[in-house]
A and B are shown apart, each in its own frame.
Chain A
């Protein structure tokens, strides 16, 4: 079980590996439009977070995720037992 705050922290931590030095991920930043992640980097990001939380994220839900906040929210729904 993971809370929203824990999920947000994990997303920010893993995202850090993909950002330019000094760049930080804000909660409302869009993963592609603002942070510049490529589709391949998005895939790697998802796999790394899945392994950290020992979950599998359904592909059906990923297209709805645009921002850091939405990503953390989805993680909470899958890993935290909250309603998606």
Chain B
């Protein structure tokens, strides 16, 4: 049984977590009531860890479009984009994405993970260098591994360290793809994008920016951090997902470089998987229109984000470095974090529990994500549920 022995530590961890009652990972939502409320453990629960930033999962026009696509095109494509799985609606979505981002080309993938992993692993090859932020998402790390390129990390959000590493590469900096994210999903912090762009331009490198968590969140049209900072012309590739602000599932890459269209014939995660279901494509197209035309959704999202961030800070919690729709609460002790997570859920608030090594430090995180669909009362309830944890602290120790 030596093949399976490596899973024993996971089994031990799961056993220990179950001693607290239920498993915090893979919680079952028994019924979804709205973008912000579900039934969990038989109880009405505020969903404060769903990445449903604009709250579009129940948007009537998106649901209608998905239903119409089911009737017209069926439940699935049963094939790859390269074979039978490209319908006219996939093409239309790509054209609309390119127009939305004001780029020449767009590629639609089946998930956001596949988009990022596929682009990173295809853009950089054996003789190239991938220079990635140390806190990059797993899809970026996995793309690196598949690429065959030399992989170098730079310190998180540190353009000076990036510059140092580009300088060390010498002429190879021209064969380098720098990878950063528009909003880091664990702590909700933003990169110093202008400085990063300045540095990569100085050394002739290319930049791939993952706007998975920042699309719909930043920018006058919701195009992300590059739009908000007026840097779009200097970012060669943007990847993202449909599964957050757009409320469906899928991923994309946009660029004005003509080579993006050739990547259709090279990216394995694009070629060797079935294309997105027509209903998913249809709801995504509708949601894309709403992102562009309803800036009030972003305003509501940021109002809620600021309310939660400020409320948790005032309650004495150590939170992420800046206000953002992702609000992470640091908890130094694992036992305390697990206990608090259960108590929040018992009190009708679901957040994400994140335990090292999945966190960027040695602390655990109780990670909240805000939605434009949360009401002021719901945000107050989330804050008061956290505040109660401190006043009724059953376990010894501080939240750090």
Contacts and interface: CB of A to CB of B under 8 A. Distances in A.
Q: Which 6 residue pairs of A and B lie closest in terms of their CB atoms, listed nearest first?
A: A59-B151, A56-B152, A58-B150, A56-B165, A56-B168, A60-B151
Interface in A3-58: 38-40, 43, 47, 51, 54-58
A55 B169 CA distance: 9
Interface in B60-92: none
A77 to B, nearest CB: 13
B155 A54 contact: no
Size category of the B interface is 10 to 19
Contacts of B155: 47
Contact of A56 (B134, B169, B362): B169
Given A56-B169, A59-B144, A40 B153 contact: no
Nearest to B151: A59
B315 interface: no
Contact of A58 (B152, B357, B361, B362): B152
A40 B357 CA distance: 9
B267 to A, nearest CB: 21
Interface residues of A, number: 13
Q: Is the interface of B mostly helix, strand, loop or mixed?
A: mixed
Interface of A: 38-40, 43, 47, 51, 54-60
A40 B169 contact: no
A60 B141 CA distance: 11
A59 B361 contact: no
Interface string B126-148: 00000000100000000010000
Q: Is the interface of A mostly helix, strand, loop or mixed?
A: loop
A32 to B, nearest CB: 13
A40 B135 CA distance: 12
A50 to B, nearest CB: 8
B153 A59 contact: yes
Nearest to B165: A56
Contact of B150 (A40, A51, A60): A60
Nearest to B154: A56
Nearest to A39: B357
Interface in B322-348: none
Nearest to B132: A59
A39 B362 CA distance: 10
Interface in B149-182: 150-153, 155, 164-165, 168-169
Contacts of A54: 168
Contacts of A43: 134
Contacts of B168: 54-56
Contacts of B150: 58, 60
A40 B358 CA distance: 12
